[in-house]
A and B are shown apart, each in its own frame.
Chain A
Amino acid sequence: MMTTMIRVVLPAHLRTLARVESEVRLDVPLDAEGRLTQRAILDALEARYPMLRGTIRDHVTQQRRSFLRFFACAEDLSLEPPDAPLPDAVASGAEPFFVVGAIAGG
Chain B
Amino acid sequence: MSRVRVLVGTRKGAFILASDGKRALWDVSGPHFAGWEIYHLKGSPADPNRLYASQCSGWFGQIIQRSDDGGKTWLQPGTPPGEPTSTPDGMPKGESNKFAYDTSAETGKPLTTHQWYDGTQHPWEFKRVWHLDPSLSDPNTVYAGVEDAALFRTNDGGQSWHELAGLRGHASGPQWQPGAGGMGLHTILLDPADPKRIYIAISAAGAFRTDDGGKTWRPINRGLKSQYIPNPEAEVGHCVHHMAMHASRPRVLFMQKHWDVMRSDDAGESWHEVSGNLPTDFGFVIDVHAHEPETIYVVPIKSDSEHFPPEGKLRVYRSRTGGNQWEALTKGLPQSNCYVNVLRDAMAVDSLDSCGVYFGTTGGQVYASADAGESWAPIVRDLPAVLSVEVQTLR
Chain A interface residues toward B at CB < 8 A: 11-14, 16-17, 46-51, 53-56, 58-60, 65, 67-68, 101-102, 104-106
Return the CB mask of B76-103 against A: 1 if under 8 Å, else 0: 1011111101000000000101111000
A106-B205 Cα distance, complex, nearest whole Å: 30
Cβ contact within 8 Å between A53 and B95: yes
Secondary structure class of chain B's binding surface, majority of residues: loop
Return the CB mask of B50-76 against A: 1 if under 8 Å, else 0: 000000011111110000000000001
Minimal Cβ-Cβ distance residue in B for A52:
B60
A82-B318 Cα distance, complex, nearest whole Å: 58
Return the CB mask of B315-346 against A: 1 if under 8 Å, else 0: 00000000000000000000000000000000
A58-B59 Cα distance, complex, nearest whole Å: 11
A58-B36 Cα distance, complex, nearest whole Å: 18
Cβ contact within 8 Å between A53 and B85: yes
A-B contact pairs, 28 of them (CB 8 A): A12-B35, A13-B59, A13-B60, A16-B34, A16-B35, A17-B60, A47-B81, A48-B81, A48-B82, A50-B79, A50-B80, A50-B85, A53-B78, A53-B98, A54-B98, A56-B60, A59-B61, A59-B95, A59-B98, A60-B98, A60-B100, A67-B59, A68-B59, A68-B60, A101-B60, A102-B59, A104-B58, A106-B35
| Residues of chain A with a CB closer than 8 A to B82's CB | 47-48
* Minimum CB–CB distance for B154 against chain A, Å: 15
Chain B interface residues toward A at CB < 8 A: 34-36, 57-63, 76, 78-83, 85, 95, 97-100
Cβ contact within 8 Å between B63 and A65: no
Contacting residue for A54 out of B34, B35, B61, B81, CB 8 A: B61
Cβ contact within 8 Å between B97 and A49: no
A88-B217 Cα distance, complex, nearest whole Å: 56
Cβ contact within 8 Å between B60 and A55: yes
Contacting residue for A59 out of B34, B81, B97, CB 8 A: B97
Cβ contact within 8 Å between B58 and A54: no
Cβ contact within 8 Å between A17 and B59: no
Cβ contact within 8 Å between B59 and A11: yes
A13-B34 Cα distance, complex, nearest whole Å: 9
Cβ contact within 8 Å between B81 and A55: no
| Residues of chain A with a CB closer than 8 A to B95's CB | 50, 53-54, 59
Minimal Cβ-Cβ distance residue in B for A51:
B76
